[in-house]
Amino acid sequence: MIDFNVPPFVGRETEYMKQAIESRKICGDGSFTKKCNSWIEEKTGTRRALLTTSCTQALELAAILADIKPGDEVIMPSYTFVSTANAFVLRGAKLVFTDIRPDTKNIDENLIEDAITDKTKAIVPVHYAGVGCEMDKITDIARRHNLIVVEDAAQGVMAEYKGRALGSIGDYGCFSFHETKNYSMGEGGAILIKDGAKAEEAEIIREKGTDRSRFLRGQVDKYSWVSMGSSYLPSDMNAAYLYAQLEEADKINDNRLRSWEMYRERLQCLEDEGKVKLPVIPQECKHNAHMFYIVTDSLEERTKLIKHLKENGVLAVFHYVPLHSAKAGLKYGRFHGEDKYTTSIANSLLRLPMYYGLEEADIEKVCELIKGFYR
Ligand SMILES: *Cc1c(COP(=O)(O)O)cnc(C)c1O
């Protein structure tokens, strides 16, 4: 059986977790958490990075920092994971969904401006499959309309747009270290913050609304409740697991990119014959092989292909019921403009097995099965 996903494991995870346990400091903000934070800051060139318990919570923290209030509108693609939306719904915002581009499946930057009203507060680009959205255009729109940009870079760790790390371009960026993502700690994430004052605010909010971080640095004599907050700190044991992978980030990234290229080479003939469409990586983007997908002709064709693969021991999956058509999406948001691609892509896109250490023979098998299906 070829699994769709296998969580990454590079070797030193257990040793580092043991170190964390033996240090007798397993709560949040221990030495491994700090190492992960610094690694992200250096690698992405962002001012401040803070590990969180998930990308979902990083997005929630970003929505608080962005001061989203009831009645505010937030623009995002409908073709995304529910957490992108929930973070803003929890603050009382109304969601305005727009269509995606057929090539990258990212929010169509040319449709954003038309969706802006006097209530719009933020734009949330989602870097689908670790391929960057058209950030120059999006940040320009945000600047002209005085909007906040929150990048959902859950899938974008180690990927770039015009030489800049995804997650470091907008006001806030959110990473995921869930077990299905390129780098993992089981459940986990990080928030990237551009502004210094907001970074201090974030430290307080994620520490239950207290200034404990300042206390730990010796900047205040005692710590107390200074603002609203919650608990977004992961255990240092989980951070230890993640740090082992961040140390080997290039190795993981290269391995995934190699698998991605193998898929591309072997399936190119099907695209040339007009049977399926393959991912498109714009010139200005350096992707991270988070995902390899094919776009089939129809829902019916995809359903048959999934069955064919499954019967032959291969797990391939699809995702995203478009948020605007889901029960909660109807309640909390509206679709602006025409749904030209969102629903059709959601019905026809199929994700193939992709993980660190995926064997070449397995990729070969998957591709042969797909080619067999189309012949
Ligand atoms: C995985 C994912 C999330 C949620 O990440 P968690 O760490 O599981 O909370 C959010 N947005 C997108 C686009 C994702 O792919």
The C-alpha atoms of residue 65 and residue 63 are separated, in whole angstroms, by: 6
Claim: this prediction has a pTM higher than 0.85: yes
Task: List the residue whose alpha carbon is closest to atom 2 of ligand 1.
Answer: 154
Ligand 1: centre distance to CA 371 (Å):
31
With a 6 Å cutoff on the Cβ, whether 123 touches ligand 1 is no
With a 6 Å cutoff on the Cβ, whether 80 touches ligand 1 is yes
Ligand 1 atom nearest the C-alpha of 187 is: 7
With a 6 Å cutoff on the Cβ, whether 184 touches ligand 1 is no
pLDDT number for residue 53: 98
| Ligand 1 pocket test target in 106, 178, 354 with most atoms within 8 Å of CB | 178
CB 320 within 8 A of CB 346: yes
Ligand 1: centre distance to CA 157 (Å):
12
Burial 222-251, CB ≥16 within 10 A → b, else e: ebeebeebeebbbbbbbbbbbbbbbbbbee
Ligand 1: centre distance to CA 175 (Å):
8
pLDDT number for residue 224: 93
The C-alpha atoms of residue 234 and residue 50 are separated, in whole angstroms, by: 10
CB 149 within 8 A of CB 122: yes
Task: List the residue whose alpha carbon is closest to atom 8 of ligand 1.
Answer: 178
Ligand 1 atom nearest the C-alpha of 177 is: 7
With a 6 Å cutoff on the Cβ, whether 84 touches ligand 1 is yes
With a 6 Å cutoff on the Cβ, whether 126 touches ligand 1 is yes
pLDDT tens track, the chain, 375 positions: 999 999 999 999 999 999 999 999 899 999 999 999 999 999 999 999 999 999 999 999 999 999 999 999 999 999 999 999 999 999 999 999 999 999 999 999 999 999 999 999 999 999 999 999 999 999 999 999 999 999 999 999 999 999 999 999 999 999 999 999 999 999 999 999 999 999 999 999 999 999 998 988 899 889 999 999 999 999 999 999 999 999 999 999 999 999 999 999 999 999 999 999 999 999 999 999 999 999 999 999 999 999 999 999 999 999 999 999 999 999 999 999 999 999 999 999 999 999 999 999 999 999 999 999 999
| Ligand 1 pocket test target in 82, 83, 323 with most atoms within 8 Å of CB | 83
Give the three-state DSSP class for 219: coil
CB 72 within 8 A of CB 119: yes
pLDDT number for residue 97: 98
Ligand 1: centre distance to CA 55 (Å):
5
The C-alpha atoms of residue 372 and residue 375 are separated, in whole angstroms, by: 5
Orientation angle between helical segments 196-206 and 55-65, nearest 10 degrees = 120
- Helices then strands (H, E): number in the chain? 14, 13
With a 6 Å cutoff on the Cβ, whether 86 touches ligand 1 is no
With a 6 Å cutoff on the Cβ, whether 54 touches ligand 1 is yes
**pLDDT tens column, 348-372:** 999 999 999 999 999 999 999 999 9
In 131-188, at which residue ranges do the beta strands (DSSP E only) sit? 148-152, 160-161, 164-165, 172-176
Q: Where are the alpha helices (DSSP H) in the chain?
A: 13-22, 31-44, 55-65, 82-89, 112-115, 135-145, 196-206, 212-216, 236-247, 249-272, 299-311, 327-332, 342-348, 360-374
With a 6 Å cutoff on the Cβ, whether 155 touches ligand 1 is yes
Question: Rg of the Cα trace of the chain?
Answer: 21
The C-alpha atoms of residue 218 and residue 238 are separated, in whole angstroms, by: 26
- Count of positions (residues) in the chain: 375
Give the three-state DSSP class for 64: helix
With a 6 Å cutoff on the Cβ, whether 30 touches ligand 1 is no
366: CB partners within 8 A, 6+ apart: 2, 263, 309, 314, 316, 352, 353
Ligand 1: centre distance to CA 281 (Å):
21
Query: DSSP per residue over 236-259, as a string?
Result: HHHHHHHHHHHHTHHHHHHHHHHH
**pLDDT tens column, 253-277:** 999 999 999 999 999 999 999 999 9
Other Cβ atoms less than 10 A from the Cβ of 287: the count is 26
Ligand 1: centre distance to CA 83 (Å):
6
CB 115 within 8 A of CB 75: yes
Ligand 1 atom nearest the C-alpha of 188 is: 7
pLDDT number for residue 71: 96
| Ligand 1 pocket test target in 51, 53, 55 with most atoms within 8 Å of CB | 55
Ligand 1: centre distance to CA 362 (Å):
27
pLDDT number for residue 216: 86
